[in-house]
Structure 1
């Protein structure tokens, strides 16, 4: 639902009448945010709608946020029933728990319509619905717990925890809890005489649509959505399908753990490379975009607020200041802590945020090291380093050395103590002795020339 909050318009005179029609036109064109495909109408429906909510692809925090919004929208519409169209291979255990709780506590009757697969966490969500309908050829079960790499978890404590949740969801809706346990714990065999199947210990149970109906895990087979609509008695009620908005689709994609790691890697590596490889350019822009997309997605998902984003920006500023201000590392440490806090606090949970940041940081070090090695002569810091030696053999001289003066005789114009002025013909030069005092009017001879330093000695033989 799109709620409009009127702010004070600083307009003058009749200008407001130009703005209001534009706002009304925009409202008419855009309609409600959230992707209502079939509900928008110029007048409210005469009967409570049946709301269809898709539960598809991977179960993660972005989907959880979408379902929270969709259930609230169904309440606002006064829906008479909610159809959850499920087609998923599972996903996050934590998100599945939250979604299952949302379905279980729904004040509107719910039916899960399995279209394709309700595997693992998808089965748990379906079991929390009041009724289940399945499309012919669909399946449910195989709810074993796996780790991030897809390997089955063997820890008894974890298996028992998840099996308990599955059994509780089954018991809540009057279904056999042992079947739910057999979908999770392969250590428990089970006999299913209704479908003439024996599940031996070591196997995980998966039910086809027909088998699910026979064992009481689904109430009906439904070839399409209209069949489910008729099964729940939805005739005469408008059918409303809620779809993720574009922002929610972006949020779902960005908040996936592997995507978050990639975005953080791009952000860290991009900014770091920009510091060591030529001035502000492509690397810096890509790095900023990586961080921006990370926070944008988590902000849309409701995980990151203004505070986390401000904390992250403060960290960037402190690190930049540390480069130009001597703070004995204090600003650098504070900046790093702010960056770390901003990323971790904006994640779905702190443990996941720390893991994502740690992986991205290690990978970024490797990427930056490779770039610095390849482009080490082109870095911005090289502008502050004089790498060439300014030697005389390369033609660099700071002053003209007048070796032709050696041996010339002149007259000390001023006392030399040991420096002073002497004339040589028509030229007056600043000269210096080896340390001895030479009175004014004494004849001197240029003994050596060292750069701009002209060394003289008193003449031993008087001039003729």
Structure 2
């Protein structure tokens, strides 16, 4: 009887304990339904599309995956940029299993339009535009036919990827396509407004803000996270800009050239090294430069320092410059592009150096760089004493002057030279000019009057 009572008490205790623990478990771990709440990550796609943006987007998408994002929204406002960077970003998007939506807040032009077409959905804000995706070279001219053909095929593939009519994507990059009903007759590139994009099914919706975007996507209760560009990524985006790279390289090379022609280490050298450090570490933050390029840069820097402080025949300087250029090529995302940037920098540096040495070489701090001192008689630099007191004195030649020879003046024998003609031995001469050891004489013609 006691055993049965004990069992009953234990059973009642376990039931009460279970009833007590269930609410605690729910409180501690949350409702199981909370695991079903969508998690949205916002990634800004702003300013110029370049390799720094590619590195940022790669990190952001990887982090969103790790933290369980269910949706990624690209908040886009870009005028376009580098084709190679846009292609790599598109590849990252295509390899991501998480749905990616583009919210065009203002502009999705050129490379931005291409990136947007690779995403699962496009939502545009009122007044936003998308298109005008012709590929141009660094000089602002239309790219060659081969590049144009490649870009058109990429635009077509991006449109077809999510079931969009490819004709409009091609019209964004090819002015030969005639679409006057959309404001793009032959000769003009297509740029869609938000309403036009909705009509041709290039945009799934028009939304003014994030709330409306989430309402359309059915994600009203989503947990939202913002990805922010870190300081190092901001540096990387700045440094990898196609316009900034040749400027940095020009400053770096010009600073080193000026430093090689000035004693010690001063402002030009500091300026050049700072520019090159910014280039290398910016590319390292962007993920393009490895330690091998940094090591080459350090070796080149040390060799240049040796050349500056221990002047030689320029061997250390040339080796240092070669090591730095090798490091640049290893740090580049495109060897061909980097060669062009280096060539531009060398031309700019040469022109600037010539201009500085010609017009500012004798002014201000440039006096320390360009050596303009001279050894003149006025400053006491005399190889031989000038016998000015001899000018006008008369003497007699001891030897014929052809045109040099010897003569005697006041019982002093001197080496002299005639003005150019022959003077015979025993002739009367007069000193007309002296400069150092040089004594120039001429023959004196004596007149003899005859008495009749």
Q: Structure 1, residues 1-38: CA drift from partner, whole Å, max 9, x if none?
A: xxxxxxxxxxxxxxxxxxxxxxxxxxxxxxxxxxxxxx
Match of 1:166 among 133, 138, 155: 155
**SS of equivalent residue, structure 2 residue 173:** coil
Residue equivalent to 2:450: none
Residue equivalent to 1:433: none
1:375–1:198 Cα change, 3 Å? closer
Match of 2:374 among 373, 387, 391: 387
Q: Does 1:273 align with 2:258?
A: yes
1:326–1:113 Cα change, 3 Å? closer
Q: Does 1:101 align with 2:91?
A: yes
Following superposition, the deviation at residue 263 of structure 1 comes to 1.2
Residue equivalent to 1:57: 47
TM-score (norm 1): 0.69
Q: Does 1:353 align with 2:331?
A: no
Preserved CA contact (<8 Å) 2:260 2:308 = no
Separation in structure 2 between the aligned mates of residue 246 and residue 213 of structure 1, nearest angstrom = 37
Residue equivalent to 2:123: 133
Count of paired positions: 348
**SS of equivalent residue, structure 1 residue 342:** helix
Q: Does 1:378 align with 2:331?
A: no
By percentage of residues, which structure has more helix? Answer: 2
**SS of equivalent residue, structure 1 residue 161:** helix
Which stretches in structure 1 are left out of the alignment for 5+ residues? Answer: 1-42, 400-464
Residue equivalent to 2:21: none
Separation in structure 2 between the aligned mates of residue 96 and residue 280 of structure 1, nearest angstrom = 42
**SS of equivalent residue, structure 1 residue 112:** strand
Match of 1:220 among 205, 217, 240: 205
Q: Does 1:363 align with 2:363?
A: no
1:215–1:318 Cα change, 3 Å? same
Separation in structure 2 between the aligned mates of residue 164 and residue 151 of structure 1, nearest angstrom = 20
Following superposition, the deviation at residue 319 of structure 1 comes to 3.9
Following superposition, the deviation at residue 200 of structure 1 comes to 3.4
Following superposition, the deviation at residue 151 of structure 1 comes to 3.0
Residue equivalent to 1:80: 70
Q: Which residues in structure 2 correspond to 1:191-206 (within 5 Å)?
A: 196-197=181-182, 199-206=184-191
Q: Which protein has the larger Cα radius of gyration, Structure 1 or Structure 2?
A: 2
Q: Which residues in structure 2 correspond to 1:42-441 (within 5 Å)?
A: 47-153=37-143, 155-190=144-179, 196-197=181-182, 199-277=184-262, 279-321=264-306, 331-373=316-358, 374-375=360-361, 378-379=367-368, 382=371, 387-389=374-376
1:319–1:225 Cα change, 3 Å? same
1:378–1:177 Cα change, 3 Å? same
Preserved CA contact (<8 Å) 2:265 2:308 = no
1:199–1:363 Cα change, 3 Å? closer
Q: Structure 1, residues 152-208: CA drift from partner, whole Å, max 9, x if none?
A: 34x4332221111111111110110111111111122247xxxx5474332211111
Preserved CA contact (<8 Å) 1:48 1:77 = no
Which stretches in structure 2 are left out of the alignment for 5+ residues? Answer: 1-29, 385-452
Following superposition, the deviation at residue 336 of structure 1 comes to 3.1
Separation in structure 2 between the aligned mates of residue 160 and residue 140 of structure 1, nearest angstrom = 21
Separation in structure 2 between the aligned mates of residue 364 and residue 396 of structure 1, nearest angstrom = 37
Following superposition, the deviation at residue 327 of structure 1 comes to 8.3
Separation in structure 1 between the aligned mates of residue 267 and residue 317 of structure 2, nearest angstrom = 25
Separation in structure 1 between the aligned mates of residue 76 and residue 177 of structure 2, nearest angstrom = 27
Following superposition, the deviation at residue 255 of structure 1 comes to 1.0
Following superposition, the deviation at residue 256 of structure 1 comes to 0.7
Separation in structure 2 between the aligned mates of residue 380 and residue 89 of structure 1, nearest angstrom = 44
**SS of equivalent residue, structure 2 residue 289:** coil
CA-based RMSD: 2.8
Q: Structure 1, residues 340-388: CA drift from partner, whole Å, max 9, x if none?
A: 1112221221111111111111111122223333336834684xx9832
